[in-house]
Structure 1
């Protein structure tokens, strides 16, 4: 029941698959919320969500449905621009550089024009689907994902706070998620005594192959510094034998290495320092048999990685062998098809801190105790946004591990914001031991519906997947905001019923959980102190061990708890978001992402297209065969007050009237008429949508729309069927 992944080749890079804005209309600086001033990284840029900007485009979302553009966006919202449309940001700070998270349709590419205070810049942003739409079919429950990409631009001028910066789609549809505004310092000067790669023959234009020049510079600079001047350098194979040397650039916006594998070595004597340049690869798919990583293997003891921009690789750092006392800090890791960083085996005293990670295709930050335990290592004050197939931060085994002061948001599909787990993937594995400290973390919109289980995963998960948890797990000062499902989950994910013991949850603030505060599904025990909750969707506690009869989970009230005293009473059903209490968001579309069926459909225009959150896709019934019906299972009985029926907004869809009756059912078998057959006008000039007001108090689980006529086409057609509790 609880299997979340298939083993990766030599782990198949964890597939517990599971993103940073704090909500619509908010300008977001990606540092900690007020509740924990230290949570998240201290970043050199300020991010602004597209949905909070001015636009002539179409806002999409919010949505938590796996496989949709809105669900993978930060804040679960974005802005879609057709050619000629714009989104205009108000600059939140002085800046001379811009990075944009975006997506374009699969197989397409184009440009975004950039305007500052109404004046178009000569420089444009190139946008492409080349690095998006990744398919990992060997991972159970995975769908095509990794829709977004990042494109950056030095503006060539200074922008002041309050200036208007607009992006205009010129030749392709572009969905814009977020814009990062940054004041980039001038390029640094060459350190005295350093060995320049250009002096060894490297080509800063990127035309020639600079691999040998870099190798020669590394050999010549033993004990010193290899200097990477401003420029673009192309490497066709990885560096090996890197030890006792510093590789330093003029800054990650200036010194750029184009390589899909930068360092690949099984061992090193250490004292390696990689700093202040960018490594941008050409990885367009995930191949776990290929070392397409910035660092693959070992840097050796006493090494560091800092000030790097790492993008378009499989993994940022896949660290094996000896990496004792490694420090990884102040880096940006973007658009990897698998992990951002993974410490697997024998990491001692490693510190990973103050990094920014966005759009990972697996765990953004992970420790995996394969072959030997990771010990006395930590993830501290990192900001993680939009991992689209796994956890934000995952600890798989290890001894005396710390996860402190991190900000994780918008996890998507198969994962949690933070996972503390004994999932081994392969042997030999070292389970959790000693004290695991999880302190001062903030989780925003974290947790996801696991498609393998058809069951949710909490914002913070403690998982005895392959063996009992006997370590002491101290979870302190946690903030959980807008989790789509639960805040804290205790589970034996392999379905074997191993216990989760010795857990202490102290000082948590939980706001607006979709279902419950505590999701207990394993035998074991935890003590809760000073845990306060508001806006709980269904009940305080879901306590239903799996497998049945495997033993209960004891929740000890240590005092100071409030707002989550109720218990979900029926272990045969899982609570849906908002069930039991009034929905915390009355404007939530109850039909989005729910199962849909129909009496018939035409070609690829299947029923699910009417509930996928994309108004441009649509269901079309069998032709010339009225009546036709579309049925949506809302998952639980809901009081529906209003329906919004849509057709694609394109002007290519001529105006038409569809005759529709609304029926409802509480058991899926017996239907009653909620609203009789009536003609509803769809006109692209007014948005191509129609609103259906339902009688007050209409309770139903199954919603059925029966179409008996259409003046524009001999079939029933809906691009979106939306259901709301608000009138």
Structure 2
């Protein structure tokens, strides 16, 4: 589901600025991420047959990038918000964490490029290589305001042809193109399974396992012949040119997803089925390179019917893995991998009852990874349990839009980006007829890591776990129990009426939560309503325990009831006119303070990791750099309220390595973030390391502005605008 981009701006207009998080939010990347349940994520997430290792924890002669939380950067979409950039000839070397004969690599290459990763085991170059391409990346959803181009990463897998042992060295080398390596999955792939007795093989019906001929009719004929039995898909690569329909009362089974591969962007497309469909143990690889919502470019589009199942599948390069409408009662979706979809991973799109989605792995979705949307009729008594979700790059990890008696339990969600939370419990309807949340909504035992984001449409942050009365009041019983929230860049729990109409959020209890290193606050309350908190412990809180400022203003209050056992988050943010920034602490009353420090910053462009927030992070050695060779470029900071700014101090990194330069800069100001006036016309400012690489700008008396914009039209030292720090003061 896409998050509504038609919202009016929030009264506290915030812009994405997240580079400061590198210094203020403790990251949980670690040296080894085993995505099966571990002590760090007890009982949360799927039990997986592979172990993932982050590239930034490996040995490399490349360049580590990140951490960064700014939408539109390679680091912000990476697992752990960090990755390794390899120029041609550079390597990243992993220590194998387990016995493995197969490797999957999450990577990115520049737009429009393709190439190869060479693979080395203990220094020996393998004959097999990994093809890398930008073909399935750089998705532009221009109709979603603020989203920009995203979906930078892709996954590529390889059977190594040999077995590596734990402790062996496995190196990836960029052969002929720049490659950013994010994470490597090490797996012991099983041998191909044997054909079940009595099954109907697609090859017996004329399917081509070499993938040269169209096998669509052979699959249809095998399905017709195997009613009540099994269609067998032997090892091979099969090409389908159109979708299957009328699939019911049959099992489609492959020899394992490493061996049986079907190439199609539309596998099953049918509005209804009598059910009894079981799909398992093969891969479906699509050719979807953009998101077109009207196209059924999905593995399953529509219904499998009651009592069906999907298991052991590898689904990749589709728009949606499973877009489920109609009768899918008692469907089980388990033990699958869903990668690199341009929209949702799975969306249970109304009417289904008793659906269980469990023990799946999802990475790099272009919208919600897992969603239930109660359109036409409520999803009822259904659950998302023990799934692992990584890097949804546009929306939520898990989203529940309406429904009755829904459970979200034991999931591990990490690294949401742009428009989403780790888990969203919402009455956002998108379309009618919609069925709001009802009965009991259970959110239990989940672990959320680096989730929540700065919403570029709201210009406002979203919490790791959001309860949202978007289009109507939340009157269901919402029980949030025993969840762990780690390294949220902003808040841990958010209660909001995202549509701006002030609907209440009621009947919420939060019990037994653990919050570590939240960037701003533990509770972000922006709606009228009430919640009870019990046994919620927090440590490493960035700004304050509670931000309680309902939106719209005067729409009603949110009551937080202390049910006992809470600790580490007793303070309240005192000023509803400003939003706390990560690690900011309570507002500084000093009238001589730097008004720009820690405030949200944006720019017309930025170069790589040199993002706008670097110019307000209090460190002149880090810097913003605009897009190169594209003057003029503008950098803007939101001071939070209208201020009579009298003096600016502009800094570049003080190192003599920078060299002296002159930048031509104009100063503009705005009180509303929309209409800007010129405060000072374009002038030359000299930056010289011999005098601290600093320029001071005196502004006219009475300059009242909230949004400060610096427009750079020339730079004698580099073909881009550059600021190491921008400071704004009330004193002349």
- Same-fold call, TM > 0.5? yes
Q: Does 1:550 align with 2:550?
A: no
Q: Take 1:26 and 1:281, find their aligned partners in 2: how far apart are those partners?
A: 33
Find the counterpart in structure 2 of residue 679 from structure 1.
Answer: 688
How far off is 1:612 after superposition?
8.0
Find the counterpart in structure 2 of residue 51 from structure 1.
Answer: 56
Query: In 2 relative to 1, CA 542–49 (structure 1 residues): closer, same or farther, beyond 3 Å?
Result: same
CA contact (8 A) 2:624 2:724 kept: no
Q: How does 1:533-612 map to 2 (within 5 A)?
A: 533-580=538-585, 594-596=601-603, 611=612
Query: In 2 relative to 1, CA 617–185 (structure 1 residues): closer, same or farther, beyond 3 Å?
Result: farther
Query: In 2 relative to 1, CA 297–409 (structure 1 residues): closer, same or farther, beyond 3 Å?
Result: same
Query: In 2 relative to 1, CA 239–525 (structure 1 residues): closer, same or farther, beyond 3 Å?
Result: same
Q: How does 1:390-429 map to 2 (within 5 A)?
A: 390-429=395-434
CA contact (8 A) 2:669 2:709 kept: no
Structure 1 gap segments, 5+ residues each: 8-20, 584-588, 598-603, 648-653, 682-689, 695-700
Q: Which digits, 9 at most, give the CA deviation of each residue in 1:535-587, with x for residues without a partner?
A: 1111111111111111100000000001111111111111111111699xxxx
Query: In 2 relative to 1, CA 716–312 (structure 1 residues): closer, same or farther, beyond 3 Å?
Result: closer
Q: Take 2:710 and 2:679, find their aligned partners in 1: how far apart are those partners?
A: 14
Find the counterpart in structure 2 of residue 134 from structure 1.
Answer: 139
Q: Which digits, 9 at most, give the CA deviation of each residue in 1:247-275, with x for residues without a partner?
A: 00000010000000000101111010000
Q: Which digits, 9 at most, give the CA deviation of each residue in 1:8-46, with x for residues without a partner?
A: xxxxxxxxxxxxx97344210013352552100000000
Find the counterpart in structure 2 of residue 152 from structure 1.
Answer: 157
Find the counterpart in structure 2 of residue 175 from structure 1.
Answer: 180
Find the counterpart in structure 1 of residue 5 from structure 2.
Answer: 5
Query: In 2 relative to 1, CA 722–253 (structure 1 residues): closer, same or farther, beyond 3 Å?
Result: farther
Query: In 2 relative to 1, CA 608–531 (structure 1 residues): closer, same or farther, beyond 3 Å?
Result: closer
How far off is 1:595 after superposition?
2.4
Q: How does 1:238-387 map to 2 (within 5 A)?
A: 238-387=243-392
Q: Does 1:633 align with 2:630?
A: no
Query: In 2 relative to 1, CA 118–663 (structure 1 residues): closer, same or farther, beyond 3 Å?
Result: farther
How far off is 1:69 after superposition?
0.7
Which of 204, 207, 210 lines up with 1:199 in the alignment? Answer: 204
Q: Take 1:691 and 1:122, find their aligned partners in 2: how far apart are those partners?
A: 52
How far off is 1:642 after superposition?
13
Q: Does 1:40 align with 2:45?
A: yes
CA contact (8 A) 1:4 1:450 kept: no
Find the counterpart in structure 1 of residue 661 from structure 2.
Answer: 658
Q: Take 1:35 and 1:483, find their aligned partners in 2: how far apart are those partners?
A: 16
CA contact (8 A) 2:36 2:51 kept: no
**Counterpart of 1:27 in 2: which secondary structure?**
coil
Find the counterpart in structure 2 of residue 211 from structure 1.
Answer: 216
Find the counterpart in structure 2 of residue 697 from structure 1.
Answer: none
Find the counterpart in structure 2 of residue 113 from structure 1.
Answer: 118
How far off is 1:141 after superposition?
2.4
Q: Which digits, 9 at most, give the CA deviation of each residue in 1:429-486, with x for residues without a partner?
A: 1110000000000000000011111110000000111111110000000100000000
Q: Which digits, 9 at most, give the CA deviation of each residue in 1:491-524, with x for residues without a partner?
A: 1111111110000000000011111100001111
Query: In 2 relative to 1, CA 484–235 (structure 1 residues): closer, same or farther, beyond 3 Å?
Result: same
Query: In 2 relative to 1, CA 197–395 (structure 1 residues): closer, same or farther, beyond 3 Å?
Result: same
Work out the number of aligned pairs and report it. 667
Q: Does 1:434 align with 2:439?
A: yes
Query: In 2 relative to 1, CA 367–89 (structure 1 residues): closer, same or farther, beyond 3 Å?
Result: same
TM-score (norm 2): 0.84
Q: Take 2:650 and 2:81, find their aligned partners in 1: how far apart are those partners?
A: 23
Q: Take 2:166 and 2:298, find their aligned partners in 1: how far apart are those partners?
A: 37
CA RMSD of aligned residues (A): 3.7
Q: How does 1:90-109 map to 2 (within 5 A)?
A: 90-109=95-114
CA contact (8 A) 2:329 2:352 kept: yes
Q: Which digits, 9 at most, give the CA deviation of each residue in 1:261-312, with x for residues without a partner?
A: 0001011110100000000000000011110000000000000000000000
Q: Take 1:636 and 1:50, find their aligned partners in 2: how far apart are those partners?
A: 38
Query: In 2 relative to 1, CA 495–33 (structure 1 residues): closer, same or farther, beyond 3 Å?
Result: farther
TM-score (norm 1): 0.85
Q: Does 1:467 align with 2:472?
A: yes
**Counterpart of 2:218 in 1: which secondary structure?**
helix
Q: Which digits, 9 at most, give the CA deviation of each residue in 1:202-240, with x for residues without a partner?
A: 000011000000000000000100000000000000110
Q: Take 2:76 and 2:136, find their aligned partners in 1: how far apart are those partners?
A: 18
Query: In 2 relative to 1, CA 47–720 (structure 1 residues): closer, same or farther, beyond 3 Å?
Result: farther
Q: Take 1:563 and 1:419, find their aligned partners in 2: how far apart are those partners?
A: 24
Q: Take 1:237 and 1:143, find their aligned partners in 2: how far apart are those partners?
A: 32
Query: In 2 relative to 1, CA 350–630 (structure 1 residues): closer, same or farther, beyond 3 Å?
Result: closer
Query: In 2 relative to 1, CA 447–646 (structure 1 residues): closer, same or farther, beyond 3 Å?
Result: farther
Q: Does 1:184 align with 2:189?
A: yes
Q: Take 1:296 and 1:620, find their aligned partners in 2: how far apart are those partners?
A: 44
Q: Take 1:343 and 1:702, find their aligned partners in 2: how far apart are those partners?
A: 43
Q: Take 2:98 and 2:609, find their aligned partners in 1: how far apart are those partners?
A: 43
Q: How does 1:20-99 map to 2 (within 5 A)?
A: 23-34=28-39, 36-99=41-104
CA contact (8 A) 2:606 2:624 kept: no
**Counterpart of 2:688 in 1: which secondary structure?**
strand
Find the counterpart in structure 1 of residue 617 from structure 2.
Answer: none
Q: Take 2:170 and 2:638, find their aligned partners in 1: how far apart are those partners?
A: 41
